[in-house]
Homo-oligomer: A and B are copies of this chain.
């Protein structure tokens, strides 16, 4: 599934293990062993996962090793990325509209729709995220 999202398989394997491992934090060494992967792979993939916002590094006092664990609210994080992409599309369509602004409104229509759609989502996405946060608060109270 991570590959479908355009991420390396190894990133998915690490994330998958961290979803179910006990304890929830695991060292590079443990990851390398259980996943049968090289230290190099673990190093670069954990870096990637941290950058995306799905996991976090967890230094334990008195232990020289780095531990990794799934970041709470990792999933909201993922959709932040998506917001960035939507914004990029909105801006791209604006650049396009600017270039064809002298042409007939009819020929602008395709870009117009692209623009409006992304502008719409740019507004909606944070609201849905907000709703998720509240939805989650309720769950905790139960």
Chain A interfacial positions (CB closer than 8 Å to B): 1, 4-6, 18-20, 22, 24, 70, 72-76, 85, 88-89, 92, 96, 99-100, 103, 107, 110-111, 113-114, 116-118, 120-121, 124, 128, 131-132, 135-136, 139
Contacts and interface: CB of A to CB of B under 8 A. Distances in A.
A28 to B, nearest CB: 19
A124 B131 contact: yes
Contacts of A99: 20
A18 B131 CA distance: 37
Contacts of A136: 116
Nearest to A112: B139
A121 B72 CA distance: 18
B113 A24 contact: no
Total identical chains? 2
Contacts of A88: 1
Given A96-B19, A120-B132, A124-B131, A110 B24 contact: yes
B1 A107 contact: no
A92 B135 contact: no
A39 B18 CA distance: 46
15 contacts: A1-B85, A1-B88, A4-B85, A20-B96, A20-B99, A20-B107, A20-B111, A22-B103, A70-B110, A75-B113, A75-B114, A75-B117, A116-B136, A124-B128, A128-B128
